[in-house]
């Protein structure tokens, strides 16, 4: 077992007795190795996934990617963000999947569409895409009870220099995060890698929204900040499933939320971009359950 998963004297005993470790199995010759599943549930409220769960999330992930492909194929100047919503919701429906955003904490649509200075949680509507826009489409489907969550930022027509830069840095930031996805790293390593990648290129990292455990529900523990320090936070172990979804801004990391209660916008109205995938930690690294090239 790696360091990070060492049991502290005052932690609850992994045998499930409810006593402190030092009052229970510490020092005893335990025959059984620590049950990680119990341990992560008890200590962090994280539900590790087993193979049938992973298969379910992978299937949901395939549909999510297919929805993103359909959206991409239609994206051009002149279509509305509502058009993207219809397309994604009809695609999900045709497979008996349910778009998770619809009615989630009052969110009114099936997908988030975040254009230009909108960081995330943009609500589809009458806005017509125009040449030079960037748009993040964020899709989460529930399929056979399992959730998968992914997003991409697309160009509309021909991008300007700023659009090219922010989309490139956002994609690179997720790539840098992926390099940290294995059982010898911690959640802090993920944030550190993203922050380092974005800030060294003069961009900034949004703090208010984080990646999250996913699979049984839309948002589960743990939270996965996109900033942080190496070695800090929960150690990654096989069976963890969570998103990494860095929101990278061209200017200030600060934001405000519009009166609709959802749309998060950069405080300086400069561009923001995001890429998101759902990842599984494996014995020797990771698997993306919503894989696409970055
Ligand atoms: N898909 C977003 C995420 O990555 C969450 C959207 S919440 C909604 O976590 F209500 F706006 F859909
Ligand atoms: Co997410
Ligand atoms: Co998402």
* pLDDT tens sequence across 239-291: 999 999 999 999 999 999 999 999 999 999 999 999 999 999 999 999 999 99
Q: Which atom of ligand 1 is nearest to the CA of 109?
A: 12
64 Cα: distance to centroid of ligand 2 (angstroms): 12
Ligand 1, residues at Cβ distance < 6 Å: 101, 104-105, 107, 112, 121, 138, 140, 149, 243, 245, 276
pLDDT mean over 213-219: 98
Tens of pLDDT along 145-174? 999 999 999 999 999 999 999 999 999 999
Whole-number pLDDT of residue 25 = 75
4 Cα: distance to centroid of ligand 1 (angstroms): 30
Q: The dihedral of CA 115, 82, 159, 153: what is its sign?
A: positive
Q: How many CB atoms lie within 10 A of CB 106?
A: 7
6 Cα: distance to centroid of ligand 3 (angstroms): 32
Which ligand does the CA of 110 lie closest to? Answer: 1
Enter the pTM of the model: 0.92
138 Cα: distance to centroid of ligand 1 (angstroms): 7
| Ion ligand 2, residue ranges at CB < 5 A | 149, 243, 245
Q: Which atom of ligand 1 is nearest to the CA of 245?
A: 4
Collect contacts of 65-69 with beta carbons under 8 A, ≥24 apart. 65/150, 65/290, 65/291, 65/292, 66/91, 67/91, 67/92, 67/111, 67/139, 67/141, 68/137, 68/139, 68/150, 68/151, 68/152, 68/292
Of 153, 138, 154, 268, the residue nearest 209 (C-alpha): 138
* pLDDT of 9 above 60: yes
């Amino acid at each position: 077992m790696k360091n990070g998963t060492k049991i502290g004297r005052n932690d609850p005993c992994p045998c499930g007795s409810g006593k402190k470790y030092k009052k229970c199995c510490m020092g005893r010759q335990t025959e059984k190795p620590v049950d990680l599943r119990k341990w992560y549930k008890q200590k962090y409220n994280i539900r590790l996934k087993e193979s049938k769960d992973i298969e379910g999330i992978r299937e949901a992930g395939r549909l999510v990617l297919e929805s993103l492909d359909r959206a991409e194929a239609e994206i051009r100047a002149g279509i509305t963000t509502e058009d993207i919503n219809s397309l994604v919701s009809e695609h999900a429906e045709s497979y008996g999947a349910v778009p998770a955003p619809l009615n989630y904490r009052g969110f009114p649509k099936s997908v988030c569409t975040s254009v230009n200075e909108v960081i995330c949680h943009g609500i589809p509507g009458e806005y017509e895409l125009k040449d030079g826009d960037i748009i993040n489409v964020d899709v989460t489907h529930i399929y056979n009870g399992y959730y998968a969550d992914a997003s991409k930022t697309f160009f509309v027509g021909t991008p300007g220099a700023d659009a090219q830069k922010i989309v490139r840095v956002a994609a690179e930031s997720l790539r840098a995060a992926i390099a940290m996805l294995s059982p010898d790293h911690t959640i802090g390593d993920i944030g550190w890698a993203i922050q380092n990648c974005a800030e060294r290129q003069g961009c900034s990292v949004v703090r208010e929204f984080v990646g999250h455990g996913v699979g049984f529900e839309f948002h589960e523990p743990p939270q996965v900040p996109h900033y942080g320090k190496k070695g800090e936070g929960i150690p990654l172990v096989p069976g963890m499933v969570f998103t990494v979804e860095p929101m990278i801004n061209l200017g200030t990391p600060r934001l405000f939320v519009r009166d609709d209660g959802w749309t998060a916008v950069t405080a300086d109205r400069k561009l923001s971009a995001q890429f998101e995938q759902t990842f599984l930690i494996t014995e020797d690294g990771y698997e993306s359950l919503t894989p696409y090239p970055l």
